[in-house]
Structure 1
Amino acid sequence: MLRYILWRLTVMIPTLFLISALIFTIIQLPPGDFFESQIAELRAQGEAANLQEMEELRKQYGFDKPQVVRYFYWVGGMLTGDFGYSFEYQLPVSEVVGDRLWLTILVSFCTIIVTWLIAFPIGIYSATHQYSWGDYGLTFVGLLGIAIPNFMLALILMYFANIWFGISIGHLMDERFLSQPMSWEKARSILSHLWIPVIIVGTSGTAAMIRRLRANLLDEMQKQYVVTARAKGLHPTRALIKYPLRMALNFFVADIGSILPTIISGAEIVAIVLSLETTGPMLIRALQSQDMYLAGSFLMFLAFLNVVGVLVSDIALGFLDPRIRLQGRSTK
């Protein structure tokens, strides 16, 4: 196991290096840069652009140098903790992400917890009561949750909230707290607004997890070791939890690799619809405006979380399922 972990950690270095090169190349593919886009936008609005200031900023941040030099400048800065400067917000990237990152983690973490708390008991019930009226009803609700896109559900809730209650739902806090530092009043406002995006974002994830847990658990419950355990008089609940449920959780552990970057990125389209102060809209805006350091650093952080999440899920699977051997030993 230790040899496997060390080998995976060693492989992570060239993997992240290749990912960084790919991210940098894709960001540079559109013609021009942030400064040219900014000049064009100002002229379209009928405003005069300070060409001299733009040129000074271009030289200051190395945009007059070859792309290879700029790439190593960007990677070297990240290795020393300097994620660059956001031209869109005119602040260092670390300050731009700041509060948005913590709010995104809060929304995503609460969504994951609510998803698990709802999906696990429903998935177990559906598997142990196959083809019952409860199974049919929960299956129908789950299929609706998968079929309806999250952004459409957000639009529907916004419409009915306005029609029925005359209120406008959106944001993660009252508008008077948007530019204020964190306080008890702001925290209470965030908690009072938090349940709406949690329900909307968690709907499809909950429905999908119910279906997957039900299918995996049904497959395990039909295997011979479960039949043998029941024939020997083992209590049904213990026979369910000790082996079938444990084996059915493989997919859940394998999803850790995708859960970690999701916690940071958030639901971008839902965040735009609900005007949430999370990192999703910020990332999309950075990509549109070619804010290279903000977009590139954020995507690189997501890639790092993805690689770490896959490593954690592989190790956890080795401990959870004795049938998985990470050492690759041959059996006869």
Structure 2
Amino acid sequence: MKGFILRRILYMIPTLFLVSIVTFVIIQLPPGDYLDVLMTELGEAGVEDSSTMDALREQYGLGQPIYVQYFKWMKAILLHGDFGLSFEKNRPVTDLIWNRLGWTFGISIMTLLFIWITALPIGIYSAVRKYSAGDYIATFFGFIGLAVPNFLLALVMMYISFKYFGQSVGGLVSPEYLDAPWTWDKYVDLFKHIWMPIVVVGTSGAAALIRIMRANLLDELYRPYVVTARAKGMSEFQLLLRYPVRVALNPFVSTIGWILPTLVSGEIIVAVVMNLPTTGPLLLRALLVQDMYLAGSLILIVSMLTVVGTLISDLLLAWIDPRIRYQ
């Protein structure tokens, strides 16, 4: 197992290198760059200063070939941990993203726990009590969760929260706590707000995993090993958890590889709608104005999550199912 983990970590290096190249090239594909966008905005405002733009282009290195810009960016990341300069903010990318990354990861991890805590028992119940009233109700709400866009669900929940419960909507804390130091009251206010984005972002993922768990478990419930264990007098609850549920968890666990990056990147519209201090609005703005170092750094982090999530899911599969051997 140690050899497998080491090999996978080594494989991550060229994978992330190739992802960084693709990311940088894709960001450069639209015509122009950040200074072209800035020049257009200044032109609309009646301000034109080509000499200043030329100086800025030289300062930011935007006049250099794309491969030169890429290698300068990667060299700064690898040697100094410097992700470059945000053109629009005129600040280092690291200063802009670390605080937002903390909120993004926190909400993503809590959303992942919400998805698992919700999907696992409901999926098991739907399979064991198939075609019952509870199964039909779970199926109905599962399809609703898959069909309703997250941003629309966010708008509905914000309206209900404000209209009927008088709670401030938008952001993770009430306006009076925005610049206040962290106290017990501020933490309580945070928990009053944070549950909403967790439910909104996690609804579609939970709905999908409920269907996956139900289908996987139905495939296992009537296998010969289950019938044999039942015939030997094992209790139904112990039999269920020890054999079919454990086997049915394999595809369930493997979804970590795509759920983690999906939670981070998929909350962009929800974050804009709910005014969340996460990386979503920052990435959207960076893409709109072609702030390439900021956008490239955020996309690279999401790609890293995909690779790390796949590694975690593979390790969990080996732990859950002894039939899996990596050697």
TM-score (norm 2): 0.91
Alpha-carbon separation, structure 2, partners of 1:260 and 1:94: 21
Q: Which residue of 1 aligns with 2:284?
A: 284
* Equivalent residues of 1:266, 1:278 under 8 A apart: no
Counterparts of 1:75-86 in structure 2 under 5 Å?
75-79=74-78, 80-86=80-86
Alignment of 1:52-91 (within 5 A): 52-79=51-78, 80-91=80-91
| Residue 139 in structure 1 maps to residue 139 in structure 2 | yes
Give the aligned CA root-mean-square deviation in angstroms. 2.1
Give 1:161 shift. Answer: 4.4
* Alpha-carbon distance in structure 1 between the residues aligned to 2:263 and 2:188: 22
1-structure distance, mates of 2:268, 2:312: 25
Between 1:18-27 and 1:299-308, the stretch displaced more is: 299-308
What SS class does the counterpart of residue 83 from structure 1 fall into?
coil
1:259 aligns with 2:259: yes
Q: Which residue of 2 aligns with 1:241?
A: 241
| Conserved 8 A contact 2:168-2:174 | no
Paired with 1:11 and 1:159, the residues of 2 have a C-alpha distance of: 47
Residue identity over aligned pairs, in percent, reads: 50
Please name the residue that 1:189 is paired with.
189
Matched, 1:24 2:12: no
Please tell me the residue identity of whatever aligns with 2:82.
Answer: D
- Could you tell me how far 1:37 is from its partner in structure 2? 0.5
SS in 2 for 1:134: helix
Is the CA contact 1:104–1:266 (under 8 Å) kept in the aligned structure 2? no
Partner of 1:330: none
Q: Report what 2:101 is aligned to.
A: 101
Using the TM superposition, name which of 115-124 and 211-220 deviates more: 115-124
Q: CA deviation at 1:115?
A: 2.0
Rate the CA distance shift 1:153–1:30 in 2: closer, same or farther, 3 A. same
Residues 182 and 283 (structure 1 numbering): CA distance in 2 closer, same or farther, change over 3 Å? farther
Note the residue ranges of structure 2 that are not aligned, 5 or more in a row: none
Which residue does 1:119 correspond to in 2? 119
**Cα separation, 1, equivalents of 2:72 and 2:206:** 43
Could you tell me which amino acid in structure 1 is paired with residue 243 of structure 2? Answer: Y
Query: Which stretch shifts more, 184-193 or 217-226?
Result: 184-193
Partner secondary structure for residue 249 of structure 1: helix
Q: Distance in 1 between matches of 2:307 and 2:189?
A: 35
SS at match of 1:15: helix
SS at match of 2:83: coil
Instruction: Report the equivalent of 1:156.
Output: 156
Matched AA of 2:63? D
How far, CA to CA, are the matches of 1:165 and 1:58 in structure 2? 52
Counterpart for residue 272 of structure 1: 272
Shift of 1:189: 3.1
Question: Which amino acid in structure 1 is aligned with residue 56 of structure 2?
Answer: L
TM-score, normalization: structure 1?
0.90
2:124, 2:217 within 8 Å by CA — same for their partners in 1? Answer: yes
Following the alignment from structure 2 to structure 1, what is the Cα–Cα distance between the partners of residues 37 and 181?
A: 34
Counterpart residue number, 2:296:
296
Distance 1:8 1:163 in 2: 51
Residues in 1 aligned to 2:107 and 2:325: alpha-carbon distance in whole angstroms: 36
Residue by residue over 1:175-221, the C-alpha shift from the partner in whole angstroms, topping out at 9 and shown as x without a partner, is 3444x375225444322211221221222122222111111111111
Find the aligned partners of 1:47 and 1:96 in 2 and give their Cα distance. Answer: 30
1:225 equivalent in alignment to 2:211? no
Cα contact 2:201–2:263 (8 A) shared by 1: no
Residue type of the partner of 1:311?
Answer: L
Q: Would the aligned equivalents of 1:34 and 1:291 in 2 still touch at CA under 8 Å?
A: yes
Relative distance call for 1:8 and 1:110 in structure 2 (3 A) is: closer
Structure 2 match to 1:198: 198
